[in-house]
Amino acid sequence: MAADEPNPTAARTTLLAPLPDHQNVTTRWWQQLWRRHTHITTPLRERGLPCDIEFGLSAHIVRVTLSDDSYLIISPPQDPPSDRSPGDPEGWIATREDPDDETLFEVVYDSLPSEDPGADPRPEARHGGSAEPLIEAIDHRLAQLGLLPAPAPPHTSPHPAPTQPTPRAQVATGAPERGATYAYGDALRDLTDRLNGAESHADAAALLHQILQPTDGLLAQLGEFFEAAGERAKEAEEDDGFDLSYDLADAAAEVRHLGEVLHVAEDRMRALTPLTPAPRALSAPARAPSLPPAAPPTSRRTR
């Protein structure tokens, strides 16, 4: 890359807004809510916008602080509240408000289901709970107002999807199992190979996202898998089925707890700075090779 070309990776690392600074950040319930909203908060933080999770009228909301002391409220349905899990509502409404100016109230985006069956549907309503149109609308409006600290990253998504796993030759030990394949293990091996070859900490963070994303990441889906396996074990007639279901439920809980512990690992990885290579020491002048030792004099034998 030429020196005068912008580096999207570096820009994304530099402009990531910090995490909130309050005591709830260390609590398990807040961390779980944060993980469920990273598809909203991470793109905004990459634009330099600080975000937080708060409780609204009847559901949790995302509060975005703006540079003119106003703020955005990104909210799911509140009245009546959504029956869906936090972070995955039927739609979003984003409003701009100012605590010191009651006249400022602007709807930036609204994809909530219409409460009036006879009213014409809003254009955004077709997007439902999708995050990308919401972020695009916020980008557009804040850019108009001059309140966007950083432009949108010049790529569709900050988290590239993993490539399809490369088929690997099966290693046979004795008689190979009929049709035995390990596509899921191979997919994770390929992700590990990509991590080993990542050119920056930001690229490594994007791969961590594939593991730690709170709804679709590997750990979240692995927890779902163990939970489903436990439910299947309960269907057995043997008593051991119930014992196995408890073990699998414990495994699901441990995997989910691991995701909660590592919920900020992606952000921390992206914020890392690569080590500066140490200057090379001057090489010592080459020495002339030592001469071999002289052969001992041969003694003459007298007759």
The residue among 200 and 14 whose pLDDT is bigger is 200
d(CA 216, CA 165): 18
Q: Measuring CA to CA, how many Å separate 136 from each of 52, 130, 132?
A: 19, 11, 6
The residue among 5 and 212 whose pLDDT is bigger is 212
Give the residue-averaged pLDDT of 13-25: 78
pLDDT tens readout for residues 245-300: 888 888 988 888 888 888 888 888 988 888 776 666 555 554 555 555 555 555 54
d(CA 198, CA 300): 73
Question: Within 10 Å of residue 225's Cβ, how many Cβ atoms?
Answer: 15
pLDDT for res 147: 93
Question: Amino acid identity of 133?
Answer: P
230 pLDDT above the threshold of 80:
yes
Torsion of CA 183, 185, 191, 194, to 10 degrees: -90
Give the residue-averaged pLDDT of 105-116: 88
pLDDT for res 158: 44
d(CA 189, CA 197): 12
Angle between helices 183-196 and 201-212 (to 10 degrees): 160
Q: CA angle at residue 221 from 217 to 222, to 5 degrees?
A: 115
d(CA 231, CA 221): 15
The residue among 79 and 63 whose pLDDT is bigger is 63
93 pLDDT above the threshold of 90:
yes
pLDDT tens readout for residues 20-72: 989 888 888 888 888 889 899 989 998 999 999 998 888 899 999 999 999 99
169 pLDDT above the threshold of 80:
no
pTM assigned to the model: 0.51
Average pLDDT over all residues of the chain:
78
pLDDT for res 94: 96
pLDDT for res 25: 87
Q: Please give the share of the chain, as a percent, with pLDDT higher than 70.
A: 75
Structure tokens at 115: 């409460």
215 Rama sector, left if φ>0, alpha if ψ -120 to 50, beta otherwise: alpha
What H or E segment, with its residue span, contains residue 63? strand 60-65
User: What letters, b where the CB count within 10 A reaches 16 and e where it falls short, cover 281-298?
Assistant: eeeeeeeeeeeeeeeeee
Picking from 111, 106, 124, the residue whose alpha carbon sits closest to that of residue 68 is: 106
β-strand 105-110 against 51-55: which pairing, if any? unpaired
End-to-end CA distance of the chain: 85
pLDDT for res 281: 56
pLDDT tens readout for residues 190-223: 888 888 888 899 888 889 988 988 888 888 889 8
pLDDT for res 41: 93
